[in-house]
Amino acid sequence: MRTRSSLPFRAAPLRVEDPPSHGTLLTAFLSSLSLDERSACAVLFGAAARHFLHWLELHGIAVRTIDDRAVRRFEKHRCRCHRYSAQQPVYKADIAARVRRFVRFLEDQGYVEVDDGIDDLPRHLADYFDAINSLQLAQGPAQSYRSEAEHVVAWLRIARRRWADIDDTIIDQYAVHDCRCPVWRKRGKLVATGTKRRRRCARHFVEFLRGRGVIPSVEPVVDDNPHMAAYLTWLKQHRGATDETIRRYRTDITRLMPMLGEPSQWDAAALRRAFQRRSKETPGSASLLVTIMRSYIRFLIVQGECRPALLHAIPSVQRYRLSALPRHVDPAMIEKIIAACPTDRPVEVRDKAIILLLARLGLRAGDVRDMRLDDIDWRGGYIRVKGKTRRPDRLPLPQDVGDAILAYLAAARPKAVEDHLFLRVQAPFRPFSSSAEIAGIVARTHERGGIGGVPTGSHIFRHSLATNLLRAGAGLESVGTILRHSSPETTAIYAKVDLPMLMKIAQPWPGDLPC
Ligand SMILES: [Zn+2]
Ligand SMILES: [Zn+2]
């Protein structure tokens, strides 16, 4: 297990005495860091914490009242602080992460007031890890469950929520939060399946805590109305719904009932009208509302109070798999990013080679992480990429990519007995353990080069390469070959990005001026 992510969370009770001097605080903070963190950049942690303390003093903010708002304000401040003003603007992902780590230290030590409403969280986390390990899941899912458990702990504290209050609404907020938590996680907002994973893992951990009686279980739902009570019992006994689901269903059905009237009078039009009215009240959860209404109708059918044909009166909510445009940037921006890569220090030489591999060949972060020394055939001028299918593919090695890798091998790669091409710059010179580290490298190169307004992550290069090739006239098939897609459907995602071409064939909107 990675040490960085398994730092225990132990919020101490608030200390009554005043916090000690800045110097003492800083020393204590630095010595509390894990070995991993300390070897990486103790000096930088110290600098970030000192700057933060200085800023707090300047604004008259007491240490014990620090919360997420204060940290966000600090991130945004236009720095005129003595000795730090060269760094404006302050917000840099790395500095922010270190400041948050410092705030977590202050909370752990009881200098800042936090009220988790839970005792001995580190022990529960450790027991949860054991429980996950005993399930013998594959490595990936097991790691997800473990790290999301820590993540939800960190986030609840940042959001100043109490464990006792946790429910589906809070878990939903957690799933979509814009992550800057002081744990080893991918930062920012998640897209696509990431929120589902967050929600699922958080629920799992919360259920675990409920099972142990650490946080109160959800009260069984009861209802005075005998009809509703029968529905709720049916949900529990025949559909195996949890109490929280039942609560949600009851709320929606109770609101719907007056709109619907007597079940014997229902027809398809009435059901649809009620659905439309109700889904306007809670936008964004239309498909859940369909499920809830169908479940209620099914119950009434079982009771003989409703015609079976009405089950199909409410249409499913249509979801389009390809409805979002892939994020991309234009070729000029890609060239600007590459040109802005400095190569003064070994780490910068390595990062430039990585950026070029991403930009020129559209590799995935995992491809870069897994690349071995013998994957490059210098004589033949190609590079072997394993990709998702584990079926190695050969790609031509462009001149500038080859030069950058050579420069890295000649002058910057540590002399370590490892066959991975890219290694960390600090001892013990290991290969990257996750592809998220490649995303971190991309973020840092943007920062070094002063590049703003580019979407985060390493996949942006892949999307941009595909988009720009298509715009330059390449066919879908050849783009699919370069990106090593196994199905042409995946490549078809990019067919939508040719906006100028799409605009030519778009029909004007009926009854309205074309826009
Ligand atoms: Zn400042
Ligand atoms: Zn987070």
DSSP codes, 107-152: HHTTSS----S-S-HHHHHHHHHHHHHHTT--HHHHHHHHHHHHHH
Annotated catalytic residue within 73, 238, 388, 430: 388
Q: Kindly name the residue from 84, 128, 174, 494 that is annotated as catalytic.
A: 494
278 with 255: CB under 8 angstroms? yes
Question: What is the pLDDT of the chain when averaged over all its residues?
Answer: 80
Q: Partners of 188 in the beta sheet?
A: 179
Do the first three CATH levels of 226-312 and 331-499 match, i.e. the same topology?
no
Specify the pLDDT at position 514.
45
pLDDT higher for 276 or 194? Answer: 276
List all residues 6 or more positions away from 87 whose beta carbon is below 8 Å from its beta carbon.
51, 79, 95
The span from the CA of 15 to the CA of 138, in Å, is: 43
| Confidence tier at 128 by pLDDT (50, 70, 90) | very high
Q: What is the mean pLDDT of residues 407-411?
A: 91
Quick one: average pLDDT of 52-79? Answer: 86
Q: How confident is the model at residue 505 (pLDDT cuts 50, 70, 90)?
A: low
Which pLDDT band, with edges at 50, 70 and 90, does 421 fall under? very high
- Per cent of the chain over pLDDT 70 is 83
| Distance between Cα 55 and ligand 1 center (Å) | 6
Measure Cα distances from 467 to 95, 147, 182, 464, 503 in Å.
33, 34, 35, 5, 16
87 CA from centroid of ligand 1 (Å): 8
Return the top range by mean pLDDT from 5-14, 34-43, 388-397, 438-447: 438-447
Pair type for strands 382-385 and 376-377:
antiparallel
**Whole-number Å distance between alpha carbons of 234 and 241:** 9
The mean pLDDT of 261-283, rounded to a whole number, is 81
DSSP calls for 482-512: HHT-SSHHHHHGGGGG-HHHHHHHPPPPTTS
Check whether 85 has a pLDDT greater than 70: no
Closest ligand to Cα 81? 1
Beta bridge partners of 376: 383
E-strand spans in 408-477? none
User: Which residue in 364, 369, 413, 484 is the catalytic one?
Assistant: 364
Is it the case that residue 180 has pLDDT exceeding 50? yes
Can 345 be counted among the known catalytic residues? no
* pLDDT band at 1; cut points 50, 70, 90: very low
Cα 149 to ligand 2 centre (Å): 11
**106 compared with 4, residue with greater pLDDT:** 106
pLDDT of 283 higher than 80: no
| Ligand 2 centroid from CA 444, angstroms | 19
pLDDT at 42 over 90: no
Q: Check whether 177 has a pLDDT greater than 90.
A: no
Q: How confident is the model at residue 46 (pLDDT cuts 50, 70, 90)?
A: confident
390 pLDDT higher than 80 = no
Q: Residues with beta carbon < 5 A to ion ligand 2?
A: 155, 179, 181
What is the band of 306 on the pLDDT scale with cuts at 50, 70, 90?
Answer: confident
Where residue 40 falls among pLDDT bands split at 50, 70, 90?
Answer: low
This prediction has a pTM of 0.49
Mean pLDDT over 10-37 rounds to 77
| Architecture in CATH for domain 331-499 | Orthogonal Bundle (1.10)
Instruction: Please tell me the number of the ligand nearest to residue 97's CA.
Output: 2
Cα(184) to centroid(ligand 2), Å = 9
Distance 210 CA to ligand 2 centre (A): 22
Q: How many CA atoms lie within 13 A of 376 on its CB side?
A: 21
Q: What is the pLDDT of residues 189-207, one digit of tens each?
A: 655 567 788 888 998 899 8
CA distance 457 to 186: 9
485 is catalytic: yes
Q: From the CA of 90, which ligand is nearest?
A: 1
Average pLDDT for 325-336: 82
**Interval 384-410 mean pLDDT:** 83
Structural tokens at position 107: 């909370």
Q: Are 442 and 457 in contact (CB under 8 A)?
A: yes
Residue 80 CA, ligand 1 centroid: distance in Å: 5
The whole-number average pLDDT for the span 367-385 is: 89
Q: What is the pLDDT of residue 190?
A: 59
Angle between helices 226-239 and 286-303 (to 10 degrees): 100
Q: Does residue 328 have an active-site annotation?
A: no
Which bound ligand lies closest to the C-alpha atom of 91?
A: 1
Distance 99 CA to ligand 1 centre (A): 12
**Residue 228 confidence class, pLDDT cut points 50, 70, 90:** confident
Q: Dihedral sign for Cα 442, 386, 2, 179, please.
A: positive
pLDDT at 315: 77
Could you say which ligand is closest to the alpha carbon of residue 79?
1
Residue 96 has pLDDT above 60, yes or no: yes
Asked if the peptide bond before residue 428 counts as cis, ω within 30 degrees of 0, the response is yes
How remote is the CA of residue 77 from the centroid of ligand 1, in Å? 7
Distance 464 CA to ligand 2 centre (A): 27
What is the pLDDT, as a whole number, of residue 123? 86
Q: How far is the CA of 154 from the centre of ligand 1 (A)?
A: 25
Catalytic residue among 151, 413, 424, 459: 459
Ligand 1 centroid from CA 47, angstroms: 11
Q: What is the Å distance from ligand 2's center to 3 Cα?
A: 18
Going from N- to C-terminal start, the domains of the chain cover 4-108, 121-211, 226-312, 331-499
Q: Which of 248, 413, 462, 463 is catalytic?
A: 462
Distance in angstroms between the alpha carbons of the first and the last residue of the chain:
55
Peptide bond into 89 cis (omega under 30): yes
Band of the pLDDT at 4, cuts 50, 70, 90? very low
Does domain 226-312 fall under CATH 1.10.3470? My reply is: no
Kindly calculate the radius of gyration of the chain based on its CA atoms and give it in whole angstroms: 27
22 is catalytic: no
pLDDT(422) > 90: yes
What percentage of the chain carries pLDDT values higher than 90?
7
Residues 6+ apart with CB under 8 A from 210: 216, 217, 218
Residue 459 a catalytic site member: yes
Quote the CA–CA distance of 35 and 16 in Å, as a whole number: 30
How many whole angstroms from 165 Cα to the centroid of ligand 2? 19
Q: What is the mean pLDDT of residues 324-339?
A: 82
